[in-house]
Structure 1
Amino acid sequence: MKYYLIAGETSGDLHGANLIRALKSVDPQAHFRFIGGDAMERESGEKAVIHSSAMSFMGFIEVLANLFTILGNLKKVKKDLLANRPDAIILIDFPGFNLKIADFAKKNNIKTFYYISPKVWAWNQKRVLKIKHIVDHLFCILPFEVDFYKEWGMEVDYVGNPLLDAIGRYSLNPDFRNQAQLNEKPIIALLPGSRKMEITKLLPLMANLPKSFPAYQFVVAGAPGFSDSFYQSFFHQQQIPVVFNQTYDLLNNAKAAIVASGTATLETALFHVPQIVVYKANILSIWIAKLVIKVKYISLVNLIMHVPVVRELIQADYNEDMVKEELNRILYDDAYRSNMLQNYKALDHKMGEIGASERTAKLIQHYLKA
Structure 2
Amino acid sequence: MVRKLYIITGEASGDLHASNLMKAILQKDETIDFRYWGGDNMSAVVGKPVKHISELAFMGFIEVVMNLRTILSNINFCKKDILEYKPDALVLVDYPGFNLRIAKWAKEQGIPVIYYISPQIWAWKQNRVHTIKKVVDKMLVILPFEKDFYGKFGMDVTFVGNPLLDAVEQFRAKSDKVDLYAKHGLDKRPVIALLPGSRKQEINTKLPIMLESLSAFNNYQFVIAGAPALPASFYEPFLKNSKNVHLIHGETYDLLSIATAALVTSGTATLETALFEVPEVVCYKGSSISYQIAKRLIKVDYISLVNLILQKEAVKELIQNECNSKLIEKELKLVLPGQAKHDQIKKDYAELIQVLGDGGASETAAAQVLEVIKN
Contact persistence 1:116–1:139 (CA under 8 A): yes
Q: Structure 1, unaligned stretches of length 5 or more?
A: none
Alignment of 1:172-211 (within 5 A): 173=177, 175-211=179-215
Map 1:247-326 → 2, pairs under 5 A: 247-326=252-331
The residue that corresponds to 1:84 in the other structure is: 85
Identity of aligned residues (%): 49
* Residue 33 (structure 1) aligned to one of 24, 32, 35: 35
For residue 333 of structure 1, report the CA deviation from its aligned partner. 5.1
Structure 1: 4+ residue segments shifted above 3 A: 332-335
| Residue-by-residue CA offset, 1:322-341 (whole Å, 9 max, x unaligned) | 00110111115534210111
Counterpart Cα distance in 2 of 1:147 and 1:362: 21
State whether structure 2 residue 257 is matched by structure 1 residue 223.
no
Name the counterpart of 1:241.
246
How far apart are 1:186 and its partner, in Å? 0.6
CA contact (8 A) 2:117 2:140 kept: yes
| Residue identity opposite 2:213 in structure 1 | L
In 2, Cα distance between the equivalents of 1:132 and 1:86? 21
The equivalent residue for 1:13 is 15
**What per-residue deviation string (whole Å, max 9, x for no partner) do you get for residues 315-364 of structure 1?**
11001110011011111553421011100000010111121111111111
Equivalent position amino acid for 2:226 in 1: G
Residue 355 of structure 1 corresponds to 360
Q: Secondary structure at the match of 1:331?
A: coil
1:121 offset after TM fit, Å?
Answer: 0.4
Q: Distance in 1 between matches of 2:223 and 2:295?
A: 32
Distance 2:13 2:274 in 1: 16
* C-alpha distance in structure 2 between counterparts of 1:175 and 1:263, whole Å: 24
- State the shift of 1:174 in Å: 5.6
One-letter code aligned to 2:37: I
2:105 matched residue in structure 1: 104
- TM-score normalised per structure 1: 0.97
Q: Aligned partners of 2:229 and 2:83: how far apart in 1? A: 29
Mean Cα deviation higher: 222-231 or 103-112: 222-231
Q: CA deviation at 1:27?
A: 1.5
CA gap of 1:355–1:53, structure 2 versus 1, over 3 A, is same
Q: Which residue of 1 aligns with 2:114?
A: 113
- Pairwise CA distance, 1:175: 2.2
Whichever residue aligns with residue 351 of structure 1, its letter is L
Partners of 1:99 and 1:233 in 2: how far apart?
Answer: 37
Q: Are the counterparts in 1 of residues 264 and 283 from structure 2 also a CA contact under 8 Å?
A: yes
Change (3 A) 1:270 1:131: same
1:261-313 residue CA offsets vs partner (Å, 9 max, x unmatched)? 00000000000000000111110000110111101000000000000000000
* 1:1-29 deviation line (CA, Å, top 9, x unaligned): 10100010000000011011011111111
1:366 deviation in Å? 1.5
C-alpha distance after superposition, 1:95-125 (max 9, x if no partner): 1100000011101011110000111101111
**1:160 counterpart letter in structure 2:** G
SS in 1 for 2:182: helix
Equivalent residues of 2:53, 2:229 under 8 A apart: no
Number of aligned residue pairs:
369
Name structure 2 gaps, 5 residues minimum: none
Structure 2 letter corresponding to 1:210: L
